[in-house]
């Protein structure tokens, strides 16, 4: 059995870079929440990463002023995993 641990680290960044990092994190979290909100629309919860990507990728990129595509996909994956987890708990 593998054991995973999360270790907090302190980043030493300049104030300008810290503001940019915080903005990036906020945009990432907004993107993930957008996908979750979309997944819960309708009668069923969408948990497919492919379906969520097809239905939300362009909207998120447009709404976030062309946020990095890789981060949009990572936010989508985080959202899909969260939706899958919620559905599993409902069963």
pLDDT in tens, 9-41: 988 889 889 999 999 999 999 999 999 999 999
Tens-place pLDDT, residues 71-88: 999 999 999 999 999 999
Q: pLDDT at residue 1 above 80?
A: no
Enter the tokens of residue 35: 């996908």
First-residue to last-residue Cα distance in the chain: 26
Q: Are 29 and 48 in contact (CB under 8 A)?
A: no
Tens-place pLDDT, residues 39-70: 999 899 999 999 999 999 999 999 999 899 99
Q: What is the pTM of this model?
A: 0.85
**Residue 64 DSSP symbol:** T
């Amino acid at each position: 059995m593998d054991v995973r641990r999360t270790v907090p680290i302190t980043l030493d960044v300049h104030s300008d870079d810290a503001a940019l990092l915080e903005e990036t994190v906020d945009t990432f979290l907004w993107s993930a929440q957008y996908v979750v909100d979309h997944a819960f629309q309708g009668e069923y919860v969408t948990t497919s990463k492919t379906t969520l990507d097809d239905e939300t990728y362009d909207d998120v990129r447009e709404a976030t002023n062309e946020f990095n595509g890789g981060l949009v996909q990572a936010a989508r994956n985080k959202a899909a995993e969260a939706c899958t987890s919620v559905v599993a708990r409902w069963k």
